[in-house]
Structure 1
Amino acid sequence: MTRTPTKNRWRKLAFACAVSALAVGCTTNEPTSQKPPTTPPTSTPTTAPPKTEAPADPVETAKKEAIATYLSHWKEAEKRYADKAGKAGDLKKYAAAAALAQVETDSANLRKKNAVILGTVTVDNPAATSADINRKIPNVIILSCLDVSRWTVTDTDTQKPAALPKNRLLRYAIKATVEKWPEGWRVIRDEPQGKKC
């Protein structure tokens, strides 16, 4: 009888079905990842734009820088007048032209008389009254009240105050011209106005 081939055929068929069922059972039409599909956000998070400073007004900047230079000029002049050798203070960093020459000349005259000026000078209410920054050499005009009441002309030998006129001005108006040079701002003129303030 020829049963054996049929039996074998059934076995082969059963084996093929089992393999097919196993293969189909191990696969799925679902995505391999169990994560839900992502959708792009409907709105993007917004952050406030960074705050930017308004650009500085160049005229106001020039005025502030010129006033700072003028105040520094007087601090350095104070050092020069107080130095017996007449070398202290970094005047050239803040002054040039007539303003520098005036401090140098006054300091030399004090040394000739064996004198120095001790104490402090105060620049009260410095105000930039005009600024021309469109010139080839920008400049600022400053008006202020110079207070020399705490300055004492002192004899370097005796260390005693020198005799000075009683009617001299101790607080007087002064007009300065400050220019912006390649190296920075420089006081070029510092002119007492001959009136009290």
Structure 2
Amino acid sequence: MSNFEREAVAKGTDLENYASTEALSKFRSDLAHMKEQRTVIRGELGHDAKVTSLDAVAKLPTATIEDCVDLSKWQTIDTRTNKVLPLPTNQPRRYVATATAEKWPNGWMVTDYVPDGARTC
């Protein structure tokens, strides 16, 4: 397992270059929750993303991307005790997340991101 640790901060990620205000606010909300809970993430988050639809000729080109998110090498650590917190029992280790992206003048931007823990992969 990698010792790479992720803190609950977006500094240095340049996310505003890749995510619209709505998608970025969801991400920042998740980070704020982690910071409030005093947790960090350690390990690797797996992805297997595929474009499932693409409208490249529309006035505003749009793509839908489905990703198989893999949490099997991902750990949430309590920063007060440095102990691993178990995932909720109803949290699958692999689940589908769907992103919507639009081609803006500066490149592709994620406009929405919806994890779906009910859909395993």
Instruction: Answer whether TM exceeds 0.5 for this pair.
Output: yes
Amino acid at match of 1:191: V
User: Deviation digits for residues 21-78 of structure 1, max 9, x if unmatched?
Assistant: xxxxxxxxxxxxxxxxxxxxxxxxxxxxxxxxxxxxxxxxxxxxxxxxxxxxxxxxxx
* Structure 2 unaligned regions, length at least 5: none
Identity of aligned residues (%): 37
Kindly report which structure 2 residues correspond to 1:14-163, keeping only aligned pairs within 5 A, or say none.
82-124=6-48, 126-163=49-86
Q: Which residue of 1 aligns with 2:113?
A: 190
* Structure 1 unaligned regions, length at least 5: 1-78
Give the drift of 1:109. 0.6
Normalized against structure 2, the TM-score is what?
Answer: 0.83
Q: Which has the higher contact order (CA 8 A, sep 6+)?
A: 2
Give the drift of 1:140. 0.7
Supply the distance in 1 between the matched residues of 2:18 and 2:41 (Cα, whole angstroms). Answer: 20
Supply the distance in 2 between the matched residues of 1:184 and 1:86 (Cα, whole angstroms). Answer: 20
Give the aligned length: 117
Supply the distance in 2 between the matched residues of 1:165 and 1:84 (Cα, whole angstroms). Answer: 19
Q: Which residue of 2 aligns with 1:65?
A: none
Larger Rg: 1
Give the drift of 1:106. 0.3
More strand by share: 2
More helix by share: 1
Q: Identify the match of residue 102 of structure 2 among 179, 185, 196.
A: 179
* SS of equivalent to 2:84: coil
Supply the distance in 2 between the matched residues of 1:164 and 1:143 (Cα, whole angstroms). Answer: 22
RMSD (Å), alpha carbons: 2.1
Verify the 8 A CA contact 1:169 1:196 in the aligned structure 2. yes
